[in-house]
Structure 1
Amino acid sequence: MSFGTYARRVRDQALPYGRRYTSLRCAVGHYKPLGFNATWNHITSRAGQVRTDEAALLRALDILETSREARLAEMAAFALRRKAEREYVVEIVSDIHRALEDLNRPGSAVHAAYGRFLADNPNFLTTTGQRVISYWSCYHRSAYPRLREYPGHLLVSALRAASARS
C-alpha cells in the first residue's frame, strides 16, 4: 500500500487504535528520510506518547506528512532545474566546439595540446564519449535522431581525431 493509504488509516477513527498505530509505523516505512528507527524516534519524541494518545498519534502523522511534502516539493523543484539545465547542453557544447575550431586543424597548437592530453589519458576520452552517447540517448535523441549530427558527438569525434594523430 501507499503512504497516503496508511496516512488515511491513521486518521480513520472507525479503525481500532492499534491498527491506526501500526498504520503510522507503516507510513514511516514508506517515508523514512533518516532511516526507519531515526525517523520513528524523531516524530515520536516530538509528538508524544503515540502508543496511547490519539492527539500525539495525529501530531506524529502531521510531522511526517509535513516533512514528506517538503521533500516532494524539493524534488519537484530539482527536477525543473535539471530540465532547464539540460536545455542548455547543446548550446554549451556547440560554443566549446566553436571555441576549439583549431582542434580540427592538424598541426595547430590546440590540436597538438588536446591530442597529447587525450593520447596520455585514453580512459578520459572513452568515458567522455560514453557519457555523450548516454546523454544524447536520454535527452536529445528526438532533436538529433542521428548520433553523428549531435553537437556533443561532433566534439568527441574531433577530440578522437586529435588523439589519433598525436
Structure 2
Amino acid sequence: MNKQFAILMVCMGNICRSPTAEGVLRTRLQQAGLDGLVGVDSAGTHAYHLGEAPDPRSCRAADKRGYDLSLQRARQVSAVDFERFDLILAADRHNMTALRAMRPPTSRAQLDYILAPLGKEPPQEVPDPYYGGPHGFDLVLDLIEAASDGWISQLKQWGISQPAG
C-alpha cells in the first residue's frame, strides 16, 4: 500500500462488517480529500470465505447509501498485515483477541476497535448482521458511518491532511 497511512478493517469472515467498514471509510476519505493519503483494506480473522465477494445483503444495504463493495474479495489477516498497516481496527472483542494472538512481537501496527471514535456509551462492537434480517445491515452502516467520520477527525488530529494549496 503506497499511502502515507494505512488502515485495515477486520471482522471474522470478511464478508459483512469489515468490507462495509472498508467501503464506507474509503468513500468518506475520498469526500474529505484524504484518499491519496490514507489506504484502506479489510480482512477476516478466519478463512471461512476466502476469495468470496461480500455478503449480498451487505452489498445491497451499502449500495442504497452510495457505497460500492462489489470489487472486494474476502481474505484472511496475515503476519505481513501487522507491518503493512498503521492501524488495524477490529469489529468486536472476539476479533480483537484473535488479532492480539496473531500479532508478531515486532509489529508496528496500532490495534483498536472500528467503533472506538464513538466513545463508551454506544456499543464498542459492531454487531454481526449475518444471521439477522436487513435491519442489522442498516444498523451496521449507521454505526460505521459515524465511526468513519470519527476516524477521519482523528487522522486530521494526527496531522494527516492535504497540504494547503
Same fold (TM over 0.5): no
Structure 2-normalised TM-score?
0.27
- Greater RCO, CA 8 A, separation 6+: 2
- Counting strand residues as a fraction of each chain, which structure ranks higher? 2
- Counting helix residues as a fraction of each chain, which structure ranks higher? 1
Q: Whose Rg is larger?
A: 1
